Amino acid sequence: MGLFSKIKEGLKKTRDSVAGKVNMVLNSFTKIDEELFEDLEEALVMADVGLPTAERICEQLRAKVKEQGVTDPQEVRGLIKEIITEMMEGGEDLRISTSPSVILVIGVNGVGKTTTIGKLAARLKDDGKKVILAAADTFRAAAIDQLQIWADRAGVDMVRHAEGSDPAAVVFDALTAAKARHADVVICDTAGRLHNKKNLMDELGKISRVIQRELPDSDQEVLLVLDATTGQNAVNQAREFKNTAGITGIVLTKLDGTAKGGVVIAIREDLKVPVKMIGVGEQIDDLQPFDAKAFADALFNEEEEEK
């Protein structure tokens, strides 16, 4: 199954929600007027796009309709797709050109963080990169054991210490191993705690200092894993983490299991943080690089769905 097909299949519930609500509005109007824009804005809010983003989409839509002299409500669908594509584009590629590069993965417990790391490791290995995992979520023994299962499944090395060890020490050993073994990428798991922001900040700060000291010239990504099924709560989580952890990108998981995938637009537009990867299924190859155009196409491709 190709990239577009996977995304299209994974976004079915979200497409039914977003495109379904938009189509309902467009099909109930014979002309484009202010009432149409207001109904569209409401439909987008109801589809988990969020009020600020829905307002911006409709603001840009008004400008495009006026500029292009569009009069048929059915043509608005294509304009919305264009606007969403433009909003979502930029910064999607992982910055991992140095050897080794470092990817720090953060997020609260239960969002699919460990699974995401395993799938990402498998994807990078398939791309010909040598990967080492650092089990720096030492807060829970289960997290270390679960990551080991994924490391074995993906066929990559893992550095681990005992439960309760210093996470920064685990990262130090993983970086040392990466240099000795000529690895391309080190992916670091971290503790999934948000309730105590000071502890989280201190821990991430210590890990970052180790990385800066050991690999000062390496490419680094700080990826926040979010669960799409939580809708607007995911936006709030992203805002909290952005303020405390300096995230460089978002990984949105469980898109295939929710109608709330419109939240990806809100996260990108409201927080100005690029979406790097999306999870559209349970299989090891179901973590896909984010593609703004493919996402927008899959979101509004309801005609093909009906054939």
**Which residue ranges of the chain lie beneath pLDDT 50?**
302-307
Output the pLDDT for position 4. 62
Output the pLDDT for position 58. 97
Output the pLDDT for position 1. 52
Output the pLDDT for position 128. 97
| Cβ–Cβ under 8 Å, residues 299 and 11 | yes
pTM equals 0.89
Output the pLDDT for position 305. 40
Output the pLDDT for position 271. 87
pLDDT tens figures, 53-72: 999 999 999 999 999 999 99
Residues 6+ apart with CB under 8 A from 163: 138, 139, 140, 141, 144
pLDDT tens figures, 167-200: 999 999 999 999 999 999 999 999 876 555 677 7
Strand pairing class (131-135; 157-159) = parallel
